[in-house]
Amino acid sequence: MEKKPHFVRREFLPREVPSISLALLLAAVLLLNALLYLYLNKFYSSLGRVETDPGLCPFGYFKFGAVKNCSPWLSCEAINKEVRKLKCVGEGAVKKVFLSEWKEKKVVLSQLTNSELKEDFLHGLKMLKALQSKYVVRLLGYCEQQFTILTEYHPLGSLRGLNETLYIPKYKAMNTWHRRLMLAIDYVSVIRYLHSSPLGTLVMCDSNDLDKVLSQYLLTSDFHILVNDLDALPLVNRSAGRLVKCGHRELQGEFVAPEQRWPYGEDVPFEDDLMPPYDEKTDIWKIPDVSNFFLGHVEGSDIVRLHLFDIHAACKKKDPAERPSAQEVLDTYRKILTLLIQEAAMPGTREML
């Protein structure tokens, strides 16, 4: 008797295996996305700072360190009695800065050095009081009569020393592209805050070159950025037709925005009265140069620059009206950070799908 061929039905197997594999892969991607979402939430909270700051006190009060209760700003009498100067740590055109001590805590005492610039000093104090937030150095007290301001001390100093700090063995782990990008995000966050402050749209005028910009900001011990010097912070009020000019001298160089430069050529001598005013978009022009400093030359920084190319090109538009707002720059920076972290967490996922 002739045996019939024995056939095994296998036609479903090749279809089932890829379907199961694809389902597992999709499940893994969804799980990874969920974990990434939680990570980014924590990442933004710890590095980028959420919008609320539990460390802030009501107007006229402060707290810092492990202290839970808010204390009133120190008065002239308290500063004179309780604050002890240790050493001079800096001096600018307007004030001299002393590392000092108050109740066994390091603090910073700033004093006016040039009486002709007392209006600038008092304007800086006014801004410091009005703009207290997570973006601004903490005010501890002041004495208008003696032209003295007391603020929180940050041992890492100004942003001018950022690269040197990141080469210290203790901080080498911080020297990564995403930490550096987070510093750039912090910087743009400060600019955004100033452009939409409780007082209105403020322009950071002490920013005629990169070194000057970096000197205006402090690096905190947990690697955030605070604006520290608010002496030159004029107000833009478009509805009232009020624009600004950063000083009364001619500004030159590629770092300052085109509208800040003398527009009438070398044959016409500079006259402050003839210099047209401008708005806050001068700050936007400078963002790419400052961010380029932050990114440095670590592994991955060139990839970040590539992703930032379009928004930085927009910041460098000659017409100020065509430049993005600080909020738009900030949104783009955050999206790029999220994208790059996703790509780092899920390399090759697209090809697998």
Together in a domain, 283 and 307: yes
Together in a domain, 197 and 221: yes
Q: Which residues pair with 85 in a beta bridge?
A: 100
Q: What is the pTM of this model?
A: 0.84
Together in a domain, 287 and 144: no
Question: Please, are residues 228 and 242 in contact by the beta-carbon 8 Å criterion?
Answer: no
Together in a domain, 179 and 239: yes
What is the predicted pLDDT for the residue at 3?
Answer: 52
Together in a domain, 196 and 319: yes
CATH code for the domain in which residue 111 is found:
3.30.200.20
Torsion of CA 92, 94, 98, 99, to 10 degrees: -70
Together in a domain, 168 and 297: yes
- Long-range contacts formed by 309-315: CB under 8 A, 24+ apart: 312/287, 312/288, 315/284, 315/285, 315/287, 315/288
Task: Show pLDDT as tens, one digit a residue, over the chain (353 residues).
Answer: 555 555 444 444 455 556 666 666 666 555 655 555 555 555 554 444 444 465 689 999 998 777 789 999 999 999 999 999 999 998 888 899 999 999 999 999 999 999 899 999 999 999 999 999 999 999 999 999 999 999 999 999 999 999 999 999 999 999 999 999 999 999 999 999 999 999 999 999 999 999 999 999 999 999 999 999 999 999 999 888 899 999 999 999 999 999 999 999 999 999 999 999 999 999 999 999 999 999 999 999 999 999 999 999 999 999 999 999 999 999 999 999 999 998 887 665 444 43
Q: Among 128, 153, 178, which residue terminates a domain?
A: 153
Residue 257 is assigned to a structural domain of this protein: yes
Together in a domain, 192 and 317: yes
| DSSP character at residue 48 | I
Find, among 268, 270, 305, the residue nearest to 288 by Cα.
Answer: 305
Residue 35 is assigned to a structural domain of this protein: no
Q: What element of type H or E holds 16?
A: helix 13-43
Question: Please, are residues 247 and 205 in contact by the beta-carbon 8 Å criterion?
Answer: yes
What is the predicted pLDDT for the residue at 350?
Answer: 44
Q: Within 13 Å, how many C-alpha atoms sit on residue 241's CB side? A: 1
Query: In angstroms, how far is CA 66 from the centroid of its own chain?
Result: 25
Q: Among 103, 137, 153, which residue terminates a domain?
A: 153
Separation CA 200–CA 280 (nearest Å): 11
Structural domain including 91 reads 71-153
Residue 31 is assigned to a structural domain of this protein: no
Q: Among 109, 137, 153, which residue terminates a domain?
A: 153
